[in-house]
């Protein structure tokens, strides 16, 4: 039996490119390794934030490509990011490496749409209103004309939004849970024809059970996306 080496360590299936933040990331968040059933490896981009990606994505492209190449050399089998806005780098990073790169959950929206009835809409949950629209959606191959979506976000003064915007290192989890509950209920009340919810802001991941409990529709987060990709890049032997 021949085995292959070439690296100092092994077993990390998924690489995750992280923005440079300090706010808490509970289990369910992409930035908490306990979220996953497979080993993950992180690469933090120094001084890179979601706001900088939104303002000038081209200026940060080289950092994303460099991080992806490092993760590939370290042996991961697929790479993702912690920020939905990183969809700006989907094609460039995918072309620069030799393993799958899935930049953002925006990539999943067409698949989700194909599973729903024509009268169903998809809720996109953001941390706050960053002015995202078709310019961003086109990077994932779709527009609002193709797929009915409703963008939902926290008020700017909500603790959840401030946690991310101000990079707060200490927050009241119960207060954030209340905000998530209220936002989800408001969305469902306004959109009774909702067929699914997509957690564009990956930090909602730790609240996905709460969101689903209220909405009673499928909830798609990056944690679930990672688990799916991990299951196909490293297929486990089946037992009878």
Helices and strands, counts by H and E, the chain: 9, 8
CA nearest to 102, candidates 8, 230, 236, 237: 230
CA nearest to 104, candidates 144, 38, 53: 53
pLDDT higher at 113 or 9? 113
C-alpha 78, offset from chain centre: 14
Place of tokens 């039996």: 1
Task: Band the pLDDT of 116: cuts 50, 70, 90.
Answer: very high
Q: What is the pTM of this model?
A: 0.92
Query: What is the pLDDT at residue 107?
Result: 95
The CA distance from 228 to 46, in Å, is 28
Q: What is the pLDDT of residues 72-83, one digit of tens each?
A: 999 999 999 999
What stretch(es) of the chain map to CATH 3.40.50.1860? 14-104+225-233, 105-221
The CA distance from 226 to 35, in Å, is 10
Q: What is the pLDDT of residues 150-187, one digit of tens each?
A: 999 999 899 999 999 999 999 999 999 999 999 999 99
Query: What is the pLDDT at residue 238?
Result: 76
**Helices (H), ranges, the chain:** 50-55, 57-73, 90-96, 109-115, 134-137, 159-165, 173-190, 208-215, 222-233
CA nearest to 81, candidates 161, 92, 134: 92
Q: Topology of 14-104+225-233 in CATH?
A: Rossmann fold (3.40.50)
Task: Band the pLDDT of 200: cuts 50, 70, 90.
Answer: very high
Domain 105-221 is found in CATH 3.40.50.1860: yes
């Amino acid at each position: 039996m021949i085995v292959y080496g070439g690296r100092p360590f092994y077993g990390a299936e998924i690489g995750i490119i992280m923005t440079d933040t300090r706010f808490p990331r509970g289990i369910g968040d992409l930035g908490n390794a306990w979220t996953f059933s497979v080993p993950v490896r992180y690469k933090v981009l120094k001084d890179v934030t979601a706001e900088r990606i939104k303002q000038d994505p081209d200026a940060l492209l080289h950092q994303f490509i460099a991080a992806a190449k490092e993760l590939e050399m370290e042996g991961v089998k697929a790479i993702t990011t912690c920020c939905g806005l990183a969809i700006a780098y989907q094609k460039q990073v995918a072309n620069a490496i030799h393993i799958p790169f899935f930049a953002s959950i925006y990539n999943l929206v067409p698949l989700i749409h194909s599973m729903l009835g024509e009268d169903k809409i998809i809720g996109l949950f953001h941390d706050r209103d960053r002015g995202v629209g078709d310019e961003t959606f086109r990077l994932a191959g779709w527009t609002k004309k193709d797929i009915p979506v409703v963008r939902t976000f926290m008020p700017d003064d909500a603790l959840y939004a401030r946690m991310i915007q101000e990079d707060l290192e200490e927050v009241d989890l119960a207060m954030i849970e209340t905000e998530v509950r209220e936002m989800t209920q408001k969305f469902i009340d306004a959109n009774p024809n909702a067929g699914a919810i997509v957690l564009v802001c990956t930090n909602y991941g730790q609240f996905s059970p709460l969101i689903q409990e209220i909405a009673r529709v499928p909830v798609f987060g990056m944690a679930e996306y990672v688990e799916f990709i991990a299951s196909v890049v490293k297929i486990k032997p089946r037992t009878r």
